[in-house]
Amino acid sequence: MVLAVAFDSAGGAAVKDFIRPAELSQFMFDFMGWDRSLSDRASAPTYPCLIDERHLVAELYNMVNVPTAVWIDENGSIVRPAEPAGASDVFRFMDRQTFEIPRDAAEVGKRTKTVYVEALCDWIEKGEKSRHALAPEEVRRRMRGLSRDDSIAAASFRLGVWLAKRGQAEAAQKYLGDAVRLRPENWSFRRQRIVLSDPALTGQFAATPEYWEAVQALGEDGRYYDPIRMEGMPPPYRAK
């Protein structure tokens, strides 16, 4: 079964229109790497869609971006730890004026998503016999430990969200900024902070100039999403 969790400090107000979306544009299919044959967005989800205002699940599973997923077997054991759920960096090659993504980049994005979904289906069908279900040793090897800075960053983020919800915007931004500074690779911290800096951004994609500057600062060798280590996955796209 699917268990969806939204990391949105604004709660239901931010996510309700996403859970039951209107018709999606071709841009969203290209941007997200969806193939129309894989998705039917006309129907509301039949699985639980939960709201995680303080990013608890992100903290428990050490997630730093969305979309991210974890595969959990019938015994409550992790068979694939947190990794991008078929997401890739192709959006970084989008023309920000025309919103066009180069066709070859879009194809890599689509292939990344398709391989991921096919692997998921393979595991659903075959369980522990699936080649995509990782042995416990490999699950541990792929799990990142928490450093001192990680613990302080999480505490700072949580405090920032709490202060924001109490209307203490300035104090909130200080602690949210601390969290971003301590964990610059945590895009959930960064983007949630941007949204909480302006109530008008609630429920929005929040691709502000600050966001794009941070994305650009990654440079050619930086990664927004870690490459997914999965059999059959295409290599990350590189502009020619």
Partner 1 sequence: MAQTILYGNQVATVDGARADGDHLWVPLGELEHSTGWKLQPQGLCRGEACVPLPPDRKHDWIDEGRGQLDIAAFAGHLGALAVHDVGNDAWSFGPTMSGRGESERQQGSGPVSAPDFSLPDLDGKLHSLSAYRGRKVFLFCWASW
Phi/psi of residue 147, nearest 5 degrees: -95, 175
- CB-based contact 239:93 (threshold 8 Å): yes
Nearest distance, CB of residue 239 and partner 1, angstroms: 26
CB of 159 to partner 1, least distance (A): 4
Structure tokens, 13:
């107000």
Tokens, residue 221: 């060798």
With binding defined as CB under 8 A, does residue 186 bind partner 1? no
176 lies in the binding site for partner 1 (CB under 8 A) = no
Out of 95, 97, 145, 167, point to the residue binding partner 1 (CB under 8 A).
145
Determine the interface stretch with partner 1 among 93-101, 106-114, 142-150, 216-224 (rule: CB under 8 A). 142-150
214 lines the binding site for partner 1 (CB under 8 A): no
Of 88, 114, 186, 188, the residue at the interface with partner 1 (CB under 8 A) is 188
**140 contributes a contact to partner 1 by CB under 8 A:** yes
How many residues interact with partner 1 (rule CB under 8 A)?
Answer: 83
Q: Which long-range contacts (CB under 8 A, 24 or more apart) does 167-172 make?
A: 169/196, 169/197, 172/196
Residue 182 gets the label, from left (phi > 0), alpha (psi -120 to 50) or beta, of alpha
24, 38, 155, 215: residue in contact with partner 1 (rule CB under 8 A): 155
Per-residue binder mask for partner 1 (CB under 8 A), 65-104, x = binder: -xxxxxxxxxxxxx--x---x-------------------
Q: Is 236 exposed, middle or buried (0-12, 13-18, 19+ CB in 10 A)?
A: middle
CA 154, 157, 159, 161 dihedral sign is: negative
What angle (nearest 5°) sits at the alpha carbon of residue 186, between those of residues 183 and 188?
Answer: 135
State the minimum distance, in angstroms, from the CB of residue 220 to partner 1. 25
Give yes or no for residue 56 binding partner 1 (CB under 8 A).
Answer: yes
